[in-house]
Structure 1
Amino acid sequence: MTLLLAVALLAAVLAAATLRPFGLPEAIIAVPAAGIAVLTGLVPPAGAWAEVGALGPTVGFLAAILLLGHLADAEGVFGWLGHRLATASHGSPRRLLGLVFAAAAGTTAVLSLDATVVLLTPVVLATATRLRLPARPHSYACAHLSNAGSGLLPVSNLTNLLAFSASGLGFLGFTGLMVAPWLAVLAVEYAVLRRFFARDLRSEPVAVAAAGRTGTEAPAVPVDAAGEEPAGTAPRFALVVLALTLLGFGASSALGVEPGWVAACGAAVLAVRTLARRRTGPLRLVAAASPAFCLFVLALGVVVAGVSGQGLAQWLGRLLPDAPDLAGLLLTAAIAAMLANLVNNLPATLVLLTALGPVPQAGLVLAVLLGVNIGPNLTYAGSLATLLWRRIAAGRGEPPSFRTFTALGALTVPLGLLAATVALWASLAVAS
Structure 2
Amino acid sequence: MVIVFGVLVLGVLVAGNWYLWRRLFRDTTRGPGWARRGGAVLIAAGWILAISALVAERAGAPFWLQRVLAWPGFLWLAVAMYLLLALVAGEAVRPLLRLFLERRTARRTADPASSPASEPLKAPQEPARTLSEVPATPDVSPAPEPPQTASGPTAPEPATTSAPSPLATPTRRLFVSRVVAGAAAAAAVTTVGYGTYGVLRGPKVKRVTVPLAKLPRAAHGYRIAVVSDVHLGPVLGRGFAQKVVDTINGTQPDLIAVVGDLVDGSVKDLGPAAAPLAQLRARHGSYFVTGNHEYFSGAEQWVDEVRRLGLRPLENQRTELPWFDLAGVNDLAGESEGQGPDFAKALGDRDTARTCVLLAHQPVQIHDAVDHGVDLQLSGHTHGGQLWPGNYIAAAANPTVSGLERYEDTQLYVSNGAGAWGMPTRVGAQSDVTVIELASRQA
Taking structure 2 as the reference length, the TM-score comes to: 0.20
- Structure with higher Rg: it is 2
Taking structure 1 as the reference length, the TM-score comes to: 0.20
Name the one with the larger strand percent.
Answer: 2
* Larger RCO (CA within 8 A; separation ≥ 6): 1
